[in-house]
Structure 1
């Protein structure tokens, strides 16, 4: 089965289209980023589950799973997809419920690591300057199908902006992304 991180579930469909190579600014910031891994909380896993469950029936069908993998750019052969789905569908009912989904997420490895978060940061850092502006945030959210005004994006930035420069740097992004996650032991 293809290994996929939690961050890839949330942002993976856009990484290929939007990611940039790390800049020197980002490279300097990496040294300040912890190498810990973090486990997503239940609310975050529920958010991802709900994105997969497109018909909102409380379970993920094979077709919904297949569609989600395509959106995330994780194309795989039909037989490989069927094997992966069967491995997740532990009760054999032909669907993945939230309990099976959370078990899969917990068994996938060490959780979210600093590299996953740095990749997600680069999705939003469109100009590659090592900072996320309200304008960049708005553009990415729009590409993800979310509606957000520039004023709302500025408010989101201010909520995370610890140093008051009106931008989000890697350290601020790391703090935001891991605020609700528990460090792995």
Structure 2
């Protein structure tokens, strides 16, 4: 396995006892430093589910996968929230009208035909609206 050098300095910083692993209490400290709260019991649970070699600790690779998974989850939550803002009255899709309305709120005045053109560029199934999958593709 290739080390995730991007997380190595963070890992080393929170490996308080310098044993090359992150324990549940060290993970708890990491979450606290990131502005979150996690009980020791929750930290034990997270370590158990992320611990691939069964030693009860997180090595660098396990820690990196845990952090990357959290970043991916945050990104997906942000996309979901943005999609909700742009969709039309809980229809589950973004219509030219709902896109025009949201862009207008953001100070970007567009004609309805411009909104239709914007949607058609990412409308994979040709139904004239964007579902979440198409919106995610547009935002990537």
Per the normalisation by structure 2, the TM-score is 0.47
Give the structure with the larger helix fraction. 2
Give the structure with the larger strand fraction. 1
Per the normalisation by structure 1, the TM-score is 0.36
Larger radius of gyration: 2
